[in-house]
Amino acid sequence: MSDVEFHAQAPDKLLYACRLLRKAAASAARVLVTADAPTLAQIDQQLWAFSSTEFVPHCFEDAPAQVRCNSPIVLTPILPEKAEQTILLNLGSAVPAGFEQFARIIEIVSDDEDDKRQARSRWKHYSASGCQLSSRKLQARATS
């Protein structure tokens, strides 16, 4: 059974995702990030430029196996049949097929009404699937 955390009221969803991924990489956690291709391209670009003093190592799912094995963060539009990571960060609008293989799932929800509506639908899906759910309201941060 997966633990699903909803991080609500993110003023900038992708910036918050970058902060989470930076923490994950620093703690040697392995995270699979899923979203549509344009969102993944944005997160890739932001991870490269996120900080001028540190690098957040990441790659796409189609990278060579050696690169994927050495990258704590892997970006993919479709979940693999068998993921090496234990944490899933879902930046998509729907519950991804195959989410059950992850021990921990993180959902980031912005203040946008459409995003909140989609998050409520995902919450219901996870709940019906027997997942352990939690939610936390984010506080605005002035700096990264």
pLDDT tens digit sequence for 95-123 = 999 999 999 999 999 999 999 999 999 99
Does some domain include residue 122? yes
Residue 143 included in any domain: no
**Does the structure show a pLDDT above 50 at 142?**
no
* Residues 122-133, mean pLDDT to the nearest whole number: 98
Nearest one of 113, 80, 117 to 96, comparing CA atoms:
80
| Ordered alpha helix ranges (H), the chain | 13-26, 37-49, 65-70, 113-128
Distance CA 83, CA 73 (A): 12
| Structural domain contains residue 116 | yes
C-alpha 13: how far from chain center = 10
pLDDT of residue 141: 54
What pLDDT is recorded for position 1? 83
Q: Which residues span the domain enclosing 36?
A: 3-137
Give the total number of structural domains in the chain. 1
Question: Could you tell me the CATH number of the domain that includes residue 53?
Answer: 3.40.50.10110
